[in-house]
Amino acid sequence: MSLIEITSPNYDVDKEIAYATPDNFTGKPVYARPSCYLHADAAACLMRSITLAASLGLRFKIFDAFRPAEAQWVLWSHTPDPDFLADPRRGSPHSMGAAVDLTLVDAAGKELDMGTDFDSFTTLSHHGNLEISPAAQRNRILLLGIMTMAGWDFFRNEWWHYQLFDARSHYPILSDAVLPLPMMPKA
The per-residue pLDDT for range 112-125, each reduced to its tens digit, is: 999 999 999 999 99
* Set 5, 16, 70, 158: catalytic member: 158
Full-model pTM: 0.97
The per-residue pLDDT for range 160-169, each reduced to its tens digit, is: 999 999 999 9
CATH number, domain 4-178: 3.30.1380.10
Q: Determine whether 158 is an active site residue.
A: yes
One-letter identity of residue 172:
P
The per-residue pLDDT for range 79-115, each reduced to its tens digit, is: 999 999 999 999 999 999 999 999 999 999 999 999 9
